[in-house]
Amino acid sequence: MHRRTVIASLAFAALSAVFGVAHAEDAPLRIGTMSGPDAQIWTEVSKVAAREGLKIKVIEFNDYIQPNAALDAGDLDANGFQHQPFLDSQVKQRGYRIVNVGLTYVAPMGFYSKKIKSLKDLPQGAKVGIQNDPSNGNRALLLLQKNGIIKLKAGVGKDGVNATPLDVIENPKGIKLIELDSAQLPRSLDDLAAASINTDYAVKAGLSPTKDAIAIEDLKGPYANLIAVRAQDRNKPWVKKLVAAYESPDVKNFIDTKFKGSIIPAF
């Protein structure tokens, strides 16, 4: 009896392993992204992937913190919404084992305003909104510096050293830097002289980076968005298929046609 029980248990375990693998392969990949342009692109990616037998379920988020937490916890298989400096800061702060497996697009950050046409028109003591997360706040400060509004300490703002408002050493207009969550910045334009806004939030607010931004980043730089997976999954076959689906001619054409230069394919 004992021997038969052991054999039966082993047989059940073997069958479970087989069916478990089959179920994992048949289940759709859970891809986390931001609502708006990101989700629109990933929906197009899902059509391309389906032709290659890869099922995708797009899961939308409305802030930049949850997608990495969900990926690290195993609630997602991959995400696509962030650039490398943001991922690096999240890994450093939270200990995530998440890696970059492919590039998606470049979305240049811009400053927007309902009151002025150029950053040079900022009045004395103007309130200027910037992102409160390290990597995007750094981008905003570098863009202010590029336009001659502030000057930062030497050595900050690049090579992994994020600048903060405390690193401003020259501020001739005496602007007040207001740090806000990225999602709040478009809604705060009425109360601010200007605000830096990420492209996904700008587009959702009806703003065109190429038409409405009063200052905008160069297209060439370290801020291309990427596809991230857990480190343990990086060499799995589905990862290669997923990246290939995103970097397909169909998806490139969709981005070029839909966003008309406000989002640029990075592949």
Domain harbouring 256, CATH code: 3.40.190.10
Q: Are residues 51 and 130 in the same domain?
A: no
Q: Are residues 118 and 154 in the same domain?
A: yes
Summary mean pLDDT of the chain = 90
pLDDT of residue 88: 94
> For tokens 């919404």, what's the residue?
81
Q: Are residues 142 and 180 in the same domain?
A: yes
Query: What whole-number distance in Å separates Cα of residue 258 and Cα of residue 261?
Result: 9
Q: What are phi and psi of 206, to 5 degrees?
A: 85, 20
pLDDT of residue 23: 31
Question: Bigger pLDDT: 22 or 91?
Answer: 91
> Does residue 140 form part of some domain?
yes
**41 with 255: CB under 8 angstroms?**
yes
Q: Are residues 184 and 117 in the same domain?
A: yes
Amino acid identity at 66:
Q
> Is the pLDDT at 4 greater than 70, yes or no?
no
> For tokens 């389906």, what's the residue?
50
Could you give the C-alpha distances from 166 to 77, 138, 162, in angstroms and in order? 38, 11, 11
Q: Which domain holds residue 240?
A: 27-108+222-265
For the segment 13-56, what is each residue's pLDDT rounded down to a tens digit? 333 333 333 335 679 999 999 999 999 999 999 999 999 999 99
**78 with 71: CB under 8 angstroms?**
yes
Amino acid identity at 122:
L
> Does residue 15 form part of some domain?
no
pLDDT of residue 221: 77
pLDDT of residue 11: 38
pLDDT of residue 25: 60
> Does residue 6 form part of some domain?
no
- At which of 200, 216, 232 does a domain end? 216
Query: What whole-number distance in Å separates Cα of residue 26 and Cα of residue 122?
Result: 56
pLDDT of residue 20: 34
How many structural domains does the chain have? 2
Q: Are residues 114 and 209 in the same domain?
A: yes
pTM over the 0.85 mark: no
Q: Are residues 132 and 208 in the same domain?
A: yes
